[in-house]
Structure 1
Amino acid sequence: MNATAFAINLAATAGAALAVLLVAFAVGLRTGRHRGVDVAWGLAFTAVAWTGYALSAGHGDPGRRLLVTVLVTVWGLRLSAHIRSRARGLGEDPRYDRMLAKAPPGRRDTYALRVVHLLQAGIVWFVSLPVQAAQYLTVPLGPLVSAALLLWAVGMFFETVGDWQLARFKADPANRGKVMDQGLWAWTRHPNYFGDACVWWALFLLAAGDPVGWAFVLSPVLMTYLLAFGSGKPLLERGLGSSKPGWDAYVARTSGFLPRPPRR
């Protein structure tokens, strides 16, 4: 790996992530809703991947560079499109309402910039470090690519199918107020979050074919932690116990993250 070129790349990709999240912040100021940051999440990862792809030309293995960039792009654009479709016509996300309620009086927007948009820009940059490293590795694709592609496919399956099943469930008026406990949601309460984690471990594997790639193992660790224990699952589930009949029974029989058959 060319250390100087990679260092320049790190600065450029940080700028790319920051630019996307600042645009999301500007949109949030105009609309009064900061939930658009979730749409920008996948777009920011995509911007980082393509910035790295452009800058790594002539430095990394062409096959690895293209593969990792395409995988991030497919994941990021699908996620952003899904979230945009789901949020159309809705008000502020309750998670951000709770978060921004802690803002000092009269400083809601600057607080949102700091704790929502800038923080997420930093997380995007850090989590995508294995992608950036993979683009600069000179070794050709090896045996780990098969495992990476399989794990990425599993992750995309859980994300895409889980989101589709939930959208169909919510579209039926007869299900209003009910707990979604069908399909993949019978095996895990968060198939989309589990799929997310699989995707990022798969992308890490594309960098792990070289010892240098292992320096970035904390990136998928952080993503998995956020999904399972941080701003993902815990924030989403907060309050559901009192708002939906049958929620406690669903929690008792269904895994919180890793898929498994439901308990009797």
Structure 2
Amino acid sequence: MKETLQAYATIIISTCICILIALASAQGGLISGSFPVLFLCISVTFIIQWLVFIPSYYWSTERFYDLTGSLTFIIVALIAFYNKNQFLGNEFDFRSIAITVFILIWALRLGSYLFLRILKDREDRRFKEWKTSFPLFLRTWTMQGMWVFLTSVSGITAICSRNIIEPGAYFYIGCALWIFGFLFESISDYQKRKFKVQNPDSFISSGLWSLSRHPNYFGEIVLWLGTTIIAFPVLQGYQYFSLISPIFVFWLLTKVSGIPILERHADKTWGDQEDYKKYKESTPVLVPKFFE
């Protein structure tokens, strides 16, 4: 009973947090009819999660969870970009183009990677206990809506901004960080996938994984920081609340669903092995040791 109440409380609180951030970030933004475009984006984000939750709960499957999240990023970015183009007419805003393209590339890459992984593994251990419980599984899907919205809100707010500024230092620094982070995450995932094919029961400690125990998460944090830096110059007033994006990504990956879960699993699986103990002692958990 307590767990059920906590699940529903989490659903309500997480949804309300996103609504408040949307209310603030929509100030001075684009309007579609009489509806702020950012409100349209947050509505679509959560509606998609809740709709796909229904058949997923019915069949007790998490197979479409990651794919749905990635597709939601794409849909929301395209909604914002379409409305920006309607606002600009024949003009171009390179900032909006860059942010949209970056979100599409990242979501397509991550979505395909995670979807193929779940098809291969057939089950995601994260969902073993949740997918048979209505409130716990609904909480999981709602939290994905929160993840999509808060992760992308700085970029989406910039796309929805009426403030048009030519690319400058922030733009180029942000693009460089995004490219670096994207490559770091992509290469890390590729190295791990290739390693697991030949060593399914071992932990990886080569390549970028020799620099960090979670180099893919480091790359993801950096790329969303880059997106936020690109967005920063056009933000104004309450829109600065959208700067929560990289903070949220860092918190989520280091305190909630990323590193803590994987570290516990690794300790349970290889914790008594000397080579793993040495690897853990000598390798940073997140920020790579680029220099000895």
TM-score above 0.5: yes
* Cα deviations by residue, 1:182-207 (Å, 9 ceiling, x for unpaired): 00000011111111111111110111
In the alignment, is residue 65 of structure 1 matched against residue 89 of structure 2? no
In the alignment, is residue 34 of structure 1 matched against residue 62 of structure 2? yes
In the alignment, is residue 260 of structure 1 matched against residue 289 of structure 2? yes
Match of 1:97 in 2: 128
Greater CA drift, 233-242 or 177-186: 233-242
Distance 1:33 1:247 in 2: 33
User: 2:36 aligns to what SS in structure 1?
Assistant: helix
Greater CA drift, 238-247 or 142-151: 238-247
Corresponding letter in the other structure for 1:161:
I
For 1:1-264, list aligned pairs within 5 A.
2-3=28-29, 5=31, 8-29=36-57, 31-59=59-87, 62-98=93-129, 100=130, 108-113=133-138, 115-135=139-159, 136=161, 137-172=163-198, 175-212=199-236, 214-244=240-270, 245=273, 246-261=275-290
* Cα deviations by residue, 1:18-55 (Å, 9 ceiling, x for unpaired): 24323542452354222532222222211111111112
Identity between Structure 1 and Structure 2 (%)? 24
Shift of 1:71: 0.6
Distance 2:150 2:265 in 1: 30
Corresponding letter in the other structure for 2:283:
T
Contact 2:196 2:202 in 1 (8 A): no
Shift of 1:4: 6.0
Distance 1:27 1:181 in 2: 39
Number of aligned residue pairs: give it. Answer: 254
Shift of 1:133: 1.7
Gaps of 5+ in 2: 1-26
TM-score by length of 1: 0.87
- CA RMSD in angstroms comes to 2.3
Corresponding letter in the other structure for 1:255:
P
| CA gap 1:90/1:153 in 2 versus in 1, 3 angstroms | same
Corresponding letter in the other structure for 2:158:
A
| CA gap 1:120/1:108 in 2 versus in 1, 3 angstroms | same
Contact 1:21 1:121 in 2 (8 A): yes
User: 1:177 aligns to what SS in structure 2?
Assistant: coil
Contact 1:255 1:262 in 2 (8 A): no
| CA gap 1:62/1:82 in 2 versus in 1, 3 angstroms | same
Distance 1:52 1:29 in 2: 30
Distance 1:208 1:162 in 2: 28
* Cα deviations by residue, 1:159-199 (Å, 9 ceiling, x for unpaired): 11101101110111xx2322100000000111111111111
